[in-house]
Structure 1
Amino acid sequence: MTEEIMAMAQALGQVSESQQGALEALCVSAETELTGRLRDGVTPEDCGPAFVLGCAWLALAGLAGGQYGGGGSFTAGSVTIREAGSGENRERAAALRLQAETVLGPYLKDRGFMFQGVEG
């Protein structure tokens, strides 16, 4: 299934030739992570194409998250050079991760805050 995820990620994202190795590792990692987060009794095959799509978006989130710089600067005399901040790539990575979790939401175990009944 990793090959399908890799092909989907390449189709969805702008992946350079130099990023192919990293993307493949991220696709394997995404497949492992999301398989482990599936509800009990649910397999990746049960999710249909949503699983491949979710894994591809999660892999692209990892790739985007690794592309941000430090936003540093230096000054030489009266000239200051500033590197653009990393906020845009972090936001893109977060949006891609959210998209992956949204498309697979019906198949994933519950995470986060839940209410529990309390007698009054």
Structure 2
Amino acid sequence: MAKLTVKDVDLKGKKVLVRVDFNVPLKDGVITNDNRITAALPTIKYIIEQGGRAILFSHLGRVKEEADKAGKSLAPVAADLAAKLGQDVVFPGVTRGAELEAAINALEDGQVLLVENT
């Protein structure tokens, strides 16, 4: 069986889950090197140009305890990604539950959602 890529399927109106590597260095909540975000742009842009609904998952650092979560939010990444794409990025700030489900179900064709640090 041949491996399919994102370019082999009709994305219009589809929810497309993408595991991206947005584990970027942050200093005081500011991204100091955005190469990993930039590297993901062609795939994300392709999905939204084809009318897909991009749902992005990533991790940032190591979250071992609840206290670690505060400094490991993907919120700065969502803002940077929105600027690079020239459109809003939905960022519900959660990893699971009804709030995330509602945000995903509310996505329209061509929109991007970034799930909080997974």
> Given the two structures, how large is their TM-score scaled by the length of structure 1?
0.29
Q: Which structure dedicates a bigger proportion of its chain to helix?
A: 1
Larger radius of gyration: 1
